[in-house]
Structure 1
Amino acid sequence: MIPESIIQYLESQGIPFERKSHLRAITAQALASSLHVSGFQVAKSVILQSDDALLICVVSAPDTVNLDRVASVTGTRNLRLADEAEFAPRFPGCEVGAEPPFGGLYGLPVVVDEHLRDESLVLFRAGSHTEALELRYDDFMNLEAPYLGNIIHDRPHKSREDESAEVAPSPY
């Protein structure tokens, strides 16, 4: 179940969203499979630790974060993956591994991979392994005003024809 604080945050900012219930899915790729969508449409939060702060990196499900590229985009030094014990207390009410990308709610900077802009609608974990949120990419970017750049390890060219599932746009 999505924590009420997340729903209130989005509603208070006038951000339209759709809740998507799904089978329990621990990984972002499993979430994509459960909802029958491309992994490129599912955004996962990767929590990094710098010398003095946590930050949320948002990348597509099949992608991996390139720490050097994140450092270049943000000007941050000494980045590493954060341990669960370091970040879990910052996300009250959220299941570990289902951290939402809403840095504005949690007082954390957000870095978004530029490849996500290829998706008009994006699915996000929102504190739950059984429910996700679908938002317009542009609404998310306007809400969070994140750093934006190429922060992933290079991937092969993605073709729409190669994707196994497409999703019709939501009516909201």
Structure 2
Amino acid sequence: MPAKKLKTYLDDNQVRYVTIKHSSAYTAQEIAAKTHISGKEVAKTVMIKVDRNLAMCVLPASYKVNFDLLQEVFGKEKVALATEEEFKYFFPDCEVGAMPPFGNLYDLDVYVAQTLAEDDMIAFNAGNHTEMIQMKYEDFNRLVQPHVFRFSQKEVAIPGDPSERWGMDY
């Protein structure tokens, strides 16, 4: 079952979503392959620190965070990848590494890659490594109200993924 907190939040806000079960997968690209959903629509959550504050970066499965671009956005503030030890206690209802991109439920800022925001749908971990939720990006945006900008680049192509694009997140 998806993280109870997330499911309750979506239901309370009358959001239509689909829960998709899959065999255990620990990376967003594995999930995309197992569920046959475009790697461009499967979102991964990467935890970062901006100075000493934790935040979520949400980007397509086949992209990676470009810390130089993030540093440009945040200017003088130090931006770095957060360690598992630094964030695991923020998500008591989730398996480590399977946090849904709803930082608003955990008092965290959310930053979404421009490429992901251009899609009609978004799919993401539902709090564990065997389920994901797929919903309209428009609903996600309305509920989370993330900061959207360019901070990612294509990592590797997912074979057969029609959304294959190389280079920066434009």
Distance 1:76 1:140 in 2: 30
1:32 aligns with 2:56: no
TM-score computed with the length of structure 1 as normaliser:
0.86
Query: Which amino acid letter does the alignment assign opposite residue 3 of structure 2?
Result: P
Equivalent residue, structure 2, for 1:87: 87
Of 147-156 and 79-88, deviating more is: 147-156
Q: Deviations over 1:41-90 (max 9, x none)?
A: 10000000122210000000010001232233455721111010110000
Match of 1:77 in 2: 77
| TM-score (ref. length: structure 2) | 0.87
Deviates more, 1:93-102 or 1:66-75: 66-75
**Alignment of 1:106 onto 2:106:** yes
Structure number with the higher strand fraction is 2
Measure, in 2, the Cα distance between the counterparts of 1:75 and 1:16. Answer: 38
In the alignment, what sits opposite 1:168? none
Residues 102/35 of structure 1: CA separation in 2 closer, same or farther (3 Å cut): same
> Which of 154, 161, 164 lines up with 1:163 in the alignment?
161
- The list of structure 1 runs, each at least 4 consecutive aligned residues, that deviate by more than 4 angstroms after superposition, is none
User: Could you tell me which residue of structure 2 aligns to residue 138 of structure 1?
Assistant: 138
Output the CA distance in 1 between the equivalents of 2:46 and 2:133.
Answer: 17
Quick one: distance in 2 between partners of 1:7 and 1:39? 23
Give, as a single letter, the amino acid of the residue that structure 1 aligns with 2:161.
Answer: E
- Contact 1:50-1:76 at 8 Å conserved across structures: no
- Shift of residue 101, structure 1, vs aligned partner: 0.5
Supply the distance in 2 between the matched residues of 1:76 and 1:110 (Cα, whole angstroms): 19
Residue of structure 2 equivalent to 1:51: 51
Q: Percent identity, aligned pairs only?
A: 37
User: How many angstroms apart in 1 are the aligned matches of 2:142 and 2:42?
Assistant: 18
Could you tell me which runs of 5 or more consecutive residues in structure 1 were left unpaired when the two chains were aligned: 166-172
In structure 1, C-alpha distance between the alignment counterparts of 2:36 and 2:155, rounded to whole Å: 22
Structure 2's unaligned 5+ residue stretches are 164-170
Partner of 2:167: none
> 2:17 and 2:75 mapped to 1: Cα distance?
32
> Partners of 1:53 and 1:30 in 2: how far apart?
29
**Count of aligned pairs between the two proteins:** 161
**RMSD across aligned C-alpha pairs, in angstroms?**
2.1
Q: Which moved more, 1:75-84 or 1:24-33?
A: 75-84
Q: How far apart, CA to CA, are the structure 1 residues paired with 2:76 and 2:124?
A: 25
